Amino acid sequence: MGNKRKRLQSDVDEFLREIPDFRYDKENRSLSGNYLVLDSEGKYVDSYPLIIKLTSDYPLAPPEVFDDGKNKPYGAVRHIEPDGKFCLFYADESWKYYSPDDGLIKFLHGPVREFLILQKAYEIEGTWNGPGRAHFQDGIFEFYNEEFGITDPRKIHSLMNQIIKRKIKGGNVCPLCYPETRTRIRNCHPQLLEFQKRVSIPLMKDSIKKLEDHCQKHRLRLRF
Return residues touching other proteins (CB under 8 A). 19-21, 33-36, 38-45, 47, 76, 79-82, 86-91, 93, 96-97, 111, 114-115, 117-118, 120-122, 124-125, 129-133, 135-136, 139, 143, 210
Residue (61 or 185) nearer to other proteins, CB:
61
CA proximity to 50, closest of 86, 79, 75? 86
Residue (38 or 193) nearer to other proteins, CB:
38
Side-chain-side CA neighbours of 13 within 13 Å: the count stands at 6
Residue (96 or 166) nearer to other proteins, CB:
96
Minimum Å distance from CB 181 to other proteins?
31
Minimum Å distance from CB 34 to other proteins?
5
Residue (2 or 73) nearer to other proteins, CB:
73
Q: Give CA separation, 82 vs 72, 77, 107, 153, 219, in Å.
A: 9, 12, 23, 27, 27
Minimum Å distance from CB 46 to other proteins?
9
The β-bridge relationship of strands 44-53 and 30-38 is antiparallel
Residue (58 or 89) nearer to other proteins, CB:
89
Minimum Å distance from CB 23 to other proteins?
11
CA proximity to 11, closest of 117, 92, 102, 118? 102
Spatial distance between the Cα atoms of 147 and 141, rounded to a whole number of angstroms: 10
Gyration radius from the chain CA atoms: 19
Minimum Å distance from CB 171 to other proteins?
33
Minimum Å distance from CB 68 to other proteins?
13
DSSP three-state, residue 80:
strand
Side-chain-side CA neighbours of 94 within 13 Å: the count stands at 26
Residue (96 or 197) nearer to other proteins, CB:
96
